[in-house]
Amino acid sequence: MERIDARGKTCPLPVIETKKVLDTMKEGSVTVLVDNAIAVQNLCKMAEQKKMQYSSEKQSEDCYTVTITISEDSQTTANQSETVSCILDNREQKTVVVLSSDCMGNGDDVLGRILMKGFVYALTEQEHLPETILLYNGGAKLSVEGAETVADLKLMEAQGVEILTCGTCLNHYGLSEKLAVGSVTNMYRIAEILANAGKVIRP
Amino acid sequence: MKQEEIVFCKGGGCTAKLGAGVLERVLSCLPKPDVKDENLLIGYESSDDAAVYRISDEIAIVQTLDFFPPMVEDPYTFGQIAAANALSDIYAMGGEVRTALNIVCFPEKMDLQILGEIMQGGNEKVLEAGGVLVGGHSIADTDVKYGLSVMGTIHPQHIFSNDGVQADDVLLLTKPLGVGLVCTAARIGEASKEAYDLAIRSMTTLNKYASEILRKYQIHGCTDVTGFGLLGHLKEMLAKGYSAELDSICIPHIPESLAYADAFYLTAAAQRNRNHVEDLVEFQGVPFAMEELLFDPQTSGGLLASLPKEEAQQALQEIQALGLPCGIIGRVLKKEKQSILVR
């Protein structure tokens, strides 16, 4: 059992230190000592988000303990989802998201851009990320410097999502030097990816 | 050289504010004057941003003060942010800045050059606001704190009230949320340059410009979003018995801030804000990071205005031209069961 004494440390440090230890563990529990009730709430909030079991206890006015447990159960679930994702990872199931405009839907472009920004953020919150995101025509404006969607695309790229923007389109809009996330691709690759996709999502 | 500045920042700004709940309890115990002064147009009953006292039919004085510990490493930038934040209360009432006094806490042993830079940053913002720094008060203390006491003027008929919202108004936010999360990420060395730069640009931008635009419209309610987070300040605006619906994808924010919330760079202040308003808020299918963003304490945050929907688009276009992420984030409804619904 790991033990962290985070008394005297202000948020977010108790949470960050606990998370670092949890990230190295396969199973077992961590007991964290903190000196205020708010830090307890922040630790419990993290455990809840990570779907881990937790309990807390007030020892004295300035000492609280929070115990977070990674159980074999959560391990099994993790293993299962790994197996499932192995099955998913065949050609039939490959998910490709196509962003062919900087607007989502037709009607009003100002609204469309707000919706598209929201869609890209909502993608980052999905349990299963797509394997590839293709950006062409107006969609090319979403992956260039200054676009509000860049941070979310970068986040997905960091988790292994391939972000590909059409080079012809970047040239057309004069944005060739401005690509801020992912890489440039051409029509052959776009056609190949779409032809081999298991599922194509077009918002 | 850098070493000294690191000691300087321990996670300040509006995250250092006392929780709203604690404050309400203490304030409610204070005795009130027997006779109400009818020239005191706005006192603290309405959780307003500043006090307003009528001098004549044309002029009322707006009075406010704000100070806090550093939330950034650079003293000059800290001075700018602390001043922009203190001046903001005048703009949240729709007033003009006239004079300001420095409020300084500074360790005797620290390099005075640092204090000079802080005050230079503060002075610059007071001048930009069209006001004058006319003095101040300094105290030797263990930690750095800086801010301003500000006096402004306003026409008594043209005050932006805090809680005058009306049903069917829409809510307009003039700056992005997320500066608290970004500053917290920066403290542990995890903020990207883009996110940090946008946070600094937002915090050092005076609300003067947004306030001057809003004065052209029928503003029913207005406040600045600071330590209690968007939902905490919105709660105060709805105090007279209204509810609000927020559309989470329309909330302007620093893009990386959501990822920082997902990485659990969470402050104590955000959790206190959550504890204070959570009972009034219903989240419908909103991701955890978005919840945290809405509770995130803002330092020198934007103005949150409630205005008729017919005027909102035009006002938004003008505010957008100021160059910071902003947006129409929701609408005001007659009171329903919950005060604030976020979907």
Whether residue B284 lies within 8 A of chain A, CB to CB, comes out as no
Q: Which residues of A touch B274 (CB under 8 A)?
A: 41
Which domain-ending residue is among A72, A99, A125?
A72
A144 and A102 part of one domain: yes
Distance CA A43, CA A68 (A): 9
Displacement of CA A194 from its chain's centroid (Å) = 23
Residue A90: give its domain's CATH number: 3.40.1260.10
Residues within 8 A of A (CB atoms), B 140-199 only: 184, 188, 192, 194-195
Report the number of distinct structural domains present in chain A. 2
Residues 6+ apart with CB under 8 A from B316: B172, B326, B327, B328
Beta pairing class for A53-60 and A28-34: unpaired
Q: What pLDDT does A29 receive?
A: 92
Displacement of CA B173 from its chain's centroid (Å) = 11
Displacement of CA A113 from its chain's centroid (Å) = 21
CB contact under 8 A, B184 and A151: no
A97 and A183 part of one domain: yes
Distance CA B127, CA B132 (A): 6
Residue at A77 is within a domain: no
Q: Which of B198, B265, B271 to mutate to test the interface with A (most CBs of A within 10 A)?
A: B271
* Predicted confidence (pLDDT) per residue in B221-245, tens digit: 999 999 999 999 999 999 888 999 9
CB contact under 8 A, A11 and B256: no
Whole-prediction pTM value?
Answer: 0.81
**Token digits for A166?**
């059409």
**Token digits for B70?**
């550093």
A119 and A157 part of one domain: yes
**Structural domain range at position A46:** 2-72
Residues 6+ apart with CB under 8 A from B130: B96, B97, B208
A92 and A190 part of one domain: yes
- In the set B14, B183, B222, B326, the catalytic residue is B14
Length of chain B, in residues = 343
Distance CA B146, CA B186 (A): 20
Q: Which of A35, A108, A121, A126 to mutate to test the interface with B (most CBs of B within 10 A)?
A: A121
Q: Is the pLDDT of residue A64 over 70?
A: yes
Distance CA B187, CA A159 (A): 24
Which whole number is the average pLDDT over B316-341?
Answer: 90
Which domain-ending residue is among A20, A50, A72?
A72
Q: What pLDDT does B285 receive?
A: 83
Domains and CATH numbers, chain B: 2-154 (3.30.1330.10), 169-342 (3.90.650.10)
Give residue for tokens 């029913």. B220
Q: Tell me the shortest Cα–Cα distance from A173 to chain B, in angstroms.
A: 22
* Predicted confidence (pLDDT) per residue in B192-224, tens digit: 999 999 999 999 999 999 999 999 999 999 999
Distance CA B45, CA B240 (A): 12
What residue in A sits closest to B256 (Cα-Cα)?
A151
Q: Which of B249, B275, B276, B320 to mutate to test the interface with A (most CBs of A within 10 A)?
A: B249
Q: Is the pLDDT of residue B14 over 50?
A: yes
A107 and A47 part of one domain: no
Return the sign of the alpha-carbon dihedral for residues B82, B88, B90, B96. positive
A129 and A31 part of one domain: no
Distance CA A185, CA A134 (A): 9
Nearest to B262 by CA among A101, A158, A139, A110: A158
Residue at A164 is within a domain: yes
Which domain-ending residue is among A50, A72, A94?
A72
Q: Which residues of A touch B288 (CB under 8 A)?
A: 49
Q: Is the pLDDT of residue B182 over 90?
A: yes
Is B29 annotated in the active site?
Answer: no
Whether residue B287 lies within 8 A of chain A, CB to CB, comes out as yes
* Predicted confidence (pLDDT) per residue in A1-38, tens digit: 889 999 988 888 999 999 999 989 888 999 999 999 99
